[in-house]
Amino acid sequence: MSAKTLYEKIWDEHVVASPEGEPTLLYIDLHLIHEVTSPQAFDGLRLNGRGVRRPDRTLATADHNVPTDPLSTPILDPISRRQLEALNENCKEFGITVFPRGHENQGIVHIIGPELGVTQPGMTIVCGDSHTSTHGAFGALAFGIGTSEVEHVLATQTLPQQKAKTMAVTVEGTPSPGVSAKDIVLAIVGRLGTGGGAGYVIEYRGQAIQELSMEGRMTVCNMSIEAGARAGLVAVDETTIEYLRGRPGVAQGDAYDATANRWRTLVSDDDAVFDAEITLNAADLVPYVTWGTNPAQVVALDGVVPSPDDALDDDEKDTVLRALEYMGLTPGTKLRSIPVDVVFIGSCTNSRIEDLRAAASVAKGSRVHDNVRALVVPGSHRVKRQAEQEGLDTVFIEAGFEWREPGCSMCLGMNPDQLKPGQRSASTSNRNFEGRQGRGGRTHLVSPVVAAATAIMGRFASPDEVTS
């Protein structure tokens, strides 16, 4: 038998049918849904008199729309409220487990799957959300789909799929202290560009990836889509297995060891061949900040705003000029001199317990700058409870951060957490697109520690600049 990549192994295990001249029909082990991309899919089922094939392989949570105000506050936006109600009604009608606002297990869909242990190695996982790539950190093939495909999976538990190409992204060596998983993935996206991963499933490899915690691996896989790749993968190892041990979704007790042994085979074979390979050296990596309006527009925190004159061609020059204008930036300006109005710590990229611990370690004993509004939005109620047990909420609140209820929040501003026109944010989220965090808002993507330091200094800063 020829050597296989991890992607090919998972793919081969899920082929329901591969008819000549047609896409492969792939089985989906886990379908995660949320309120935004599902209502039209449920309507489609009703219109066609179809049911949900496997409600027991479908899990729903409210996340995109939920306010992060105290749970006693009503949802004032009637359209948001209606959409959240529709999710609950649809799940009730079709027998799907749902975590509504305030439920003990509610949170961002890509946070709750892993923390509940329902995200597992070797699975195929889909969700109507492009950051579904997050779950690839567990050696699962996980990718985002549109609403028509959500309807397809609800009805059939399968998806017709064309096989992707494979890309190995290897990060060799160990990064310097202060360089986080977020910086690793910003470097990768900067290197590949927003389209460099299109058509590929990326497998992240190398010492720097192996040394990451599961939280860090999720941060890396999360942003695969920002390089155009629908899925990112990390091979299973003991870090994966220890993270999942004892979680509600996995086999309990001794039975877990048999499961874990099966999962240990979920690695690319030594002599497997990838369609493309790139290598980064961890020693070259530094803390990064995005300066523009797409996530590949990355510069070192120590660097300056780039000039359109450095562009490779006219097309890129236009893109740079447009981004500079939108962002209100002048080429040559030091990043560390740029003031920010809002700091957002949250999102499916960076709202896990480890992210909050990292940010809190910087915030402890300091004060948020007078000109800054700083929000901390835990990824889920489980993360929030854990953080509160560790006293992180007190650290943040005493430093002047807002400690909020879980949800997608200001990552995409579908709830009331939005930037005002012209406001500049340092955000631990994944997209700096025009208007993403609110109409006219200017987003810079950073790691949790840079976000916390920036909140305190009132301008882009690293933790070493924060003096208690």
Q: Could you say which residues in the range 323-362 bind other proteins, by CB under 8 A?
A: none
Nearest Cα to 408, choosing from 127, 63, 59? 63
Q: CA 54, 55, 56: angle at the middle one, nearest 5?
A: 85
Q: Work out how close the CB of 15 gets to other proteins at its nearest, in angstroms, rounded to a whole number.
A: 8
CA distance 327 to 435: 11
The single residue among 8, 16, 163, 304 that binds other proteins, judged by CB under 8 A, is 16
Nearest Cα to 3, choosing from 270, 231, 214? 270
Ranges within 54-93 binding other proteins (CB under 8 A): 54, 56-59, 64-65, 77, 79-80, 82-83, 86
Q: Which stretch binds other proteins (CB under 8 A): 45-53, 329-337, 355-363, 389-397?
A: 45-53
The single residue among 163, 165, 191, 322 that binds other proteins, judged by CB under 8 A, is 322
| CB contact at 8 A, 387 and 378 | yes
The single residue among 142, 181, 223, 225 that binds other proteins, judged by CB under 8 A, is 225
CB nearer other proteins, residue 9 or residue 369: 9
Cα dist from 67 to 38, 87, 163, 373, 388, whole Å: 19, 16, 39, 17, 20
The structure tokens 């999360």 sit at 222
CB nearer other proteins, residue 39 or residue 175: 39
Number of residues that bind other proteins (CB under 8 A): 89
CA distance 383 to 385: 6
Q: Work out how close the CB of 273 gets to other proteins at its nearest, in angstroms, rounded to a whole number.
A: 22
The single residue among 67, 139, 175, 228 that binds other proteins, judged by CB under 8 A, is 228
Q: Work out how close the CB of 133 gets to other proteins at its nearest, in angstroms, rounded to a whole number.
A: 11
End-to-end CA, the chain: 60
String of contacts with other proteins for each residue 282-301, x by CB under 8 A: -----------xx-------
CB nearer other proteins, residue 97 or residue 176: 97
Q: Work out how close the CB of 2 gets to other proteins at its nearest, in angstroms, rounded to a whole number.
A: 23
SS3 content of the chain, % helix, strand, coil (to 5): 40, 20, 45
| CB contact at 8 A, 68 and 410 | no
Ranges within 154-213 binding other proteins (CB under 8 A): 155-158, 160, 162, 194-195, 198-199
439 part of the interface to other proteins, by CB under 8 A: yes
Q: CA 113, 12, 205: angle at the middle one, nearest 5?
A: 60
Q: Which stretch binds other proteins (CB under 8 A): 210-218, 347-355, 371-379, 429-437?
A: 429-437
| CB contact at 8 A, 216 and 357 | no
CB nearer other proteins, residue 212 or residue 377: 377
Residue 16: φ, ψ to 5°: -90, -40
